[in-house]
Amino acid sequence: MVSLTADMSPLHPDRNLALELVRATEAAAIRAVPFVGRGDKEAADGAAVDAMRAFFTTVDFDGTIVIGEGEKDNAPMLYNGEKVGSGRGPQCDVAVDPIDGTTLTAAGRQNALSVIAVSDAGSMLDASTVFYMDKLVTGPEGVGVVDIRLPIGENIRLLSKALGKPVEEMVVSVLNRPRHEQLIQEIREAGAGTRLMSDGDVAGGINAARHNARTDMCVGIGGSPEGIVTACAIKALGGHIQGRLRPRDDVERQKGADAGLKFDDYVYEADDLVRGKNTIFVATGVTDGQLVGGVRREGDFLYTESVVLRGASGTLRWISSEHLTSKWL
């Protein structure tokens, strides 16, 4: 008699669920395509939200959105706390970003993704009351080596040694924001190079954690929801992620404190962001990027590229799909 592990149990998200969720990110990406480069990020996001939510109803799981489009009053669909799925199957926490990079999509720039992350019910940190998080992400070599509390130059030198790579060959991804001017200067003064991202720090974090990636580390202040989503992917890659919440004002700090969140120098480790290994991360490219290619049309067909990461098995799968254009018109 074979005993059921947590991974095999029907009460937990499994590989079938992971592959089903790809249909939802594909749909969101495809529906966003008519708005690429059109300058209307709200329209692009609205189309992606509608498509993702419609496909959720066909998936057998009992999901609760922990990280969504916002509070119910401001987000009529895919809002925090909304139930998604058929209601049958495993109970799950769900994080969605129908378009991670709405500004990128509106401008027609690279690295826009449609993203879903899933974990066991009650395992995701709900940091929705605090918008920003300071993050540090590396691959497996950074585990037990780098620490977000250390100066960036020291972390670069420590990771350089662990990788067996000269400091001058190290590349660090950072969102290109005025708040990061000092951080960028310190990275360059340490001898490393920078890859400045206009948006899309989920892709930046995953690329830093992947084997043989072009970047070695992703650092800086970005969205708290993106930090939780990235943690789901990092679990599958065996990488390292840490975060510190950065409230924008006293009001936000109080809201976070009321929700049980911790501030100042408290460091959220990977297991604080998402408990356990039973995580799923799914992303489909809206526009071309380092992680996956964007949606493209060739005659009667639409082509999509997706990535699926499962923490339980430590696997990364690339999925290329071909869709009849007539089914989407």
177 is in an annotated binding site: yes
Q: What is the pLDDT of residue 7?
A: 46
132 is in an annotated binding site: yes
223 is in an annotated binding site: yes
258 is in an annotated binding site: no
**CB–CB of 45/102 below 8 Å?**
yes
**CB–CB of 96/68 below 8 Å?**
yes
* 16-121+279-327 and 132-273: identical CATH topology: no
226 is in an annotated binding site: yes
What are the pLDDT digits (tens) for 42-56?
A: 999 999 999 999 999
**What number is the average pLDDT over the span 124-152?**
95
45 is in an annotated binding site: yes
178 is in an annotated binding site: yes
Buried b (16+ CB within 10 A) or exposed e, 201-233: bbbbbbbbbbeebebbbbbbbbbbbbbbbbbbb
69 is in an annotated binding site: yes
97 is in an annotated binding site: yes
Q: What percent of the chain has pLDDT over 70?
A: 93
CATH architecture of 16-121+279-327: 2-Layer Sandwich (3.30)
The tally of CA atoms less than 13 A away on the side-chain side of residue 50 is: 9
What single-letter DSSP state applies at residue 59? S
What lies within 8 Å, CB to CB, of 142 at 6+ separation is 159, 162, 217, 239, 240
Matching residue, tokens 């950072």: 174
What are the pLDDT digits (tens) for 241-255?
A: 999 999 999 999 999
200 is in an annotated binding site: yes
Domain spans in the chain, listed from the N-terminal domain onward: 16-121+279-327, 132-273
Token readout for 179 is: 């708040």
214 is in an annotated binding site: no
Out of 3.40.190.90, 3.40.50.1100, 3.10.580.10, 3.20.20.70, select the CATH number for domain 132-273: 3.40.190.90
Q: What is the pLDDT of residue 14?
A: 65
What single-letter DSSP state applies at residue 2? P
pTM for the whole structure: 0.90
- Name the band, by pLDDT with cuts 50, 70 and 90, for residue 13: low
